[in-house]
């Protein structure tokens, strides 16, 4: 869908032969997401027979041991995909492994030799996708080494006749603005920007992609998608999960870094952007960055009016008691890391002038839900008397990203009877009812797009830096103050202090 030839269907795209090299192959992401996604693509015949997957990490392992490890993982994490034994057997022939230290030149020599053998044996034609899924502190080293080993080949990237080399970089992309800029520089020293695919798995979600279709394939929404009709926008990203054994990682991260400056801002930019001229990767990304450049900087001396932070204490999720953040393994018992952030943003441009965007993202909420709610303005003149009017609330358009993927339009309708009573009714579109297929996993779509050379659903250099630029004043201010944590209970939607952010404007969070 979203490639340079805008209306080409996914099925019509021909996947070229290719070797995918996963750095950090003994990590969780490889077994939980990457290999299951590649196996699914293989089963759906979206990967050609001329493919190879090369895992690389420090652990000593033979090709066969790696194959066995991946089979065990797939049986555990993606049992429905694993069921087809014959397909797995064929797929596994394309799995290879190189043990090695990423800071040593020999590792890249070994890798290069193996890749050349694979080109000969499996017909991968010298095409490469390098996937950086190591601990982030090794990214720059691996990139530099690939360059020194002559494996990055940027000068050939533009020539369609010569093999391609692309690099996918997992999140987190830096830990602040300075480190993101540095990482972008390190990448640019070795690769051309059109070889670089910075992953944000939210962009691979079917419902996030549908935002573009919903906005720009339908004529009725665009005319009202602006300050004249919209009162405000609420974006909620709530998780029931806590930190799930990742306490040590989360301690240095927090929800602002982990979710908001990347995933939530990507969603936000798709809601706020202008229509692009085409669906070519750069046309879409130009509009997204233009929108984000219009985000008004937070006033540092009045930050409290724009941002709140929270951390969960012990509570109950689904009737079961759960521990507080500070009790989680790997977490400092006096931790000041936030697990809840809500903020109010304004776009200084014609479309959105004066329209607040309220964003919240948090862990240990009562429900897992990610949605965008477009709250329309009140009717300009009330016709139905006070009683009826009391029951009247402005229209809301809700785009549910997950779960229960779908779209709901809420409007008032007359309750049948002699009196004029108004009640809220919903007009619903549910993906699973309208389309009888399971949407592909985000990683499937994103990996396939990279092999096909379509970077529309990946973050461009400027966007990664802009995300950090917006949140830096918050991170800097928070470092200087001591929050009173915990300040909300696990399994609740927050606390009056946190809700104050939206209440101060006479509005409230939607009941979810
Ligand atoms: C990851 C974060 O990027 O996204 C996790 O590091 C978070 O902390 C996850 O749980 C949420 O992803 P999803 O797809 O389940 O909404």
pLDDT tens, per residue, the chain with 512 residues = 333 333 344 446 789 999 999 999 999 899 999 999 999 999 999 999 999 999 999 999 999 999 999 999 999 888 877 778 889 999 999 999 999 999 999 999 999 999 999 999 999 999 999 999 999 999 999 999 999 999 997 655 455 568 999 999 999 999 999 999 999 999 999 999 999 999 999 999 999 999 999 999 999 999 999 999 999 999 999 999 999 888 999 999 999 999 999 999 999 999 999 999 999 999 999 999 999 999 999 999 999 999 999 999 999 999 999 999 999 999 999 999 999 999 999 999 999 999 999 999 999 999 999 999 999 999 888 887 766 666 678 999 999 998 989 999 999 888 899 887 888 899 999 988 899 887 888 999 999 999 999 999 999 999 999 999 999 999 999 999 999 999 999 999 999 999 999 999 999 999 99
Protein residue with least CA distance to atom 4, ligand 1: 259
pLDDT at 381: 83
From 201, 260, 265, 340, mutation site for ligand 1 pocket: most ligand atoms within 8 A of C-beta: 201
Alpha carbon distance 100, 110 (integer Å): 9
Report the nearest-CA residue for atom 15 of ligand 1.
Answer: 239
Q: Ligand 1 site: residues with CB under 6 angstroms?
A: 171, 239, 241, 258
d(CA 306, CA 346): 10
Give the pLDDT of residue 78.
Answer: 82
User: In angstroms, what is the span from residue 410 Cα to ligand 1's centroid?
Assistant: 29
Query: What are the backbone dihedrals phi and psi of residue 459, each rounded to the nearest 5 degrees, phi first?
Result: -85, 130
Residue 387 CA, ligand 1 centroid: distance in Å: 44
The rounded distance, in Å, linking the Cα atoms of 336 and 383 is 51
Distance 355 CA to ligand 1 centre (A): 28
Residue 252, token pair as written in the block: 């240095």
Our mutation pick for probing the ligand 1 site, out of 241, 263, 266, 325, counting the most ligand atoms within 8 A of Cβ, is: 263
Nearest CA to ligand 1 atom 13: 202
Report CA(2)–ligand 1 centroid distance (Å): 24
Q: Can you give the pTM of this predicted structure? A: 0.93
- For residue 327, what is the DSSP state? G
Between the CA of 432 and the centroid of ligand 1 the distance, in Å, is: 22
Instruction: Say how many CA atoms lie within 13 Å of 372 toward its Cβ.
Output: 20
The pLDDT value recorded for residue 438 is: 78
> If 0-12 CB within 10 Å is exposed, 13-18 middle and 19+ buried, where does residue 45 land?
exposed
Coil, helix or strand at residue 131: strand
Residue nearest to atom 6 of ligand 1 (CA): 258
Query: Which of 247, 252, 258, 405 for mutating ligand 1's site (highest number of atoms within 8 Å of CB)?
Result: 258
Q: Ligand 1 centre from 411 Cα, in Å?
A: 32
Radius of gyration of the chain (CA): 24
Instruction: Give the model's pLDDT for residue 4.
Output: 38
Atom of ligand 1 nearest to the CA of 262: 3
Q: Are 22 and 133 in contact (CB under 8 A)?
A: yes
DSSP-derived letter for residue 202 is G
Give the catalytic positions in this structure.
263
In ligand 1, the atom with minimum distance to the C-alpha of 370 is 16
Structure token digits, residue 378: 């009140």
Q: Where are the alpha helices (DSSP H) in 391-483?
A: 431-434, 442-452, 461-480
Q: Which atom of ligand 1 is nearest to the CA of 237?
A: 16
CA triple 275-281-283, angle to 5 deg: 35
For atom 5 of ligand 1, the residue with the nearest CA is: 258
* Span from the CA of 177 to the centroid of ligand 1 (angstroms): 21
In 257-382 the beta strands, taken as DSSP E runs, fall at 307-310, 312-313, 315-317, 320-322, 340-345, 357-362, 369-376
Query: Hey, which of 207, 239, 256 would you mutate to test ligand 1's pocket, going by the most ligand atoms within 8 Å of its Cβ?
Result: 239
């Amino acid at each position: 869908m979203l490639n340079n030839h805008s209306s080409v269907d996914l099925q019509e795209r021909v996947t070229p032969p290719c070797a995918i090299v996963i750095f950090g192959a003994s990590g969780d992401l490889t077994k939980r997401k990457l290999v299951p996604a590649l196996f699914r693509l293989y089963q759906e015949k979206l990967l050609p027979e001329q493919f190879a997957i090369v895992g690389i990490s420090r652990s000593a392992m033979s090709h066969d041991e790696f194959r066995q490890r991946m089979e065990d993982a797939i049986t555990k994490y993606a049992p429905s995909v694993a069921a087809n034994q014959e397909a797995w057997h064929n797929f596994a022939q394309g799995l290879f492994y190189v043990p090695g230290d990423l800071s040593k030149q020999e590792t890249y020599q070994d890798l290069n030799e193996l890749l050349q053998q694979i080109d000969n044996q499996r017909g991968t034609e010298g095409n490469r996708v390098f996937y950086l899924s190591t601990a982030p502190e090794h990214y720059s080293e691996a990139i530099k080494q690939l360059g020194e080993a002559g494996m990055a080949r940027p000068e050939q990237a533009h020539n369609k006749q010569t093999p391609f080399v692309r690099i996918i970089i997992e999140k987190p992309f830096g830990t602040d603005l300075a480190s993101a800029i540095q990482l972008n520089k390190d990448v640019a020293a070795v690769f051309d920007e059109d070889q670089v695919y910075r992953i944000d798995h939210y962009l691979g979600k079917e419902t996030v992609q549908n935002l573009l279709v919903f906005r720009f394939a339908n004529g009725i929404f665009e005319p009202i998608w602006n300050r004249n009709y919209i009162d405000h926008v609420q974006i909620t990203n709530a998780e029931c999960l806590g930190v799930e054994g990742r306490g040590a990682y989360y301690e240095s991260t927090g929800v602002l870094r982990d979710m908001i400056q990347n995933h939530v801002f990507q969603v936000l930019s798709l809601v706020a952007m202008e229509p692009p001229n085409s669906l070519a990767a750069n046309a879409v990304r130009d509009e997204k960055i233009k929108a984000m450049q219009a985000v008004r900087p937070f006033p540092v001396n009045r930050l409290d009016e724009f941002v709140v932070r929270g951390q969960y204490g012990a509570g109950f999720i689904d009737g079961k008691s759960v521990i507080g953040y500070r009790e989680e393994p790997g977490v400092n018992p006096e931790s000041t890391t936030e697990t809840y952030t809500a903020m109010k943003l304004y776009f200084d441009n014609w479309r959105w002038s004066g329209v607040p965007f309220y964003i919240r993202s948090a862990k240990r909420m009562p429900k897992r839900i990610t949605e965008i709610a477009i709250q329309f303005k009140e009717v300009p003149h009330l016709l139905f008397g006070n009683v009826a009017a009391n029951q009247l609330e402005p229209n809301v358009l809700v785009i549910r990203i997950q779960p229960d993927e779908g779209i709901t339009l809420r409007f008032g309708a007359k309750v049948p009877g002699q009196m004029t009573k108004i009640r809220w009714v919903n007009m619903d579109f549910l993906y699973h009812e309208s389309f009888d297929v399971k949407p592909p996993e985000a990683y499937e779509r994103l990996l396939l797009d990279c092999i096909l050379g379509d970077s529309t659903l990946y973050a461009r250099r400027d966007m990664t830096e802009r995300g950090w630029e917006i949140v830096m004043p918050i991170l800097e201010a928070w470092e200087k103050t001591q929050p009173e944590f915990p300040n909300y209970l696990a399994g609740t939607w927050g606390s009056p202090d946190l809700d104050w952010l939206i209440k101060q404007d006479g509005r409230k969070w939607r009941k979810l």
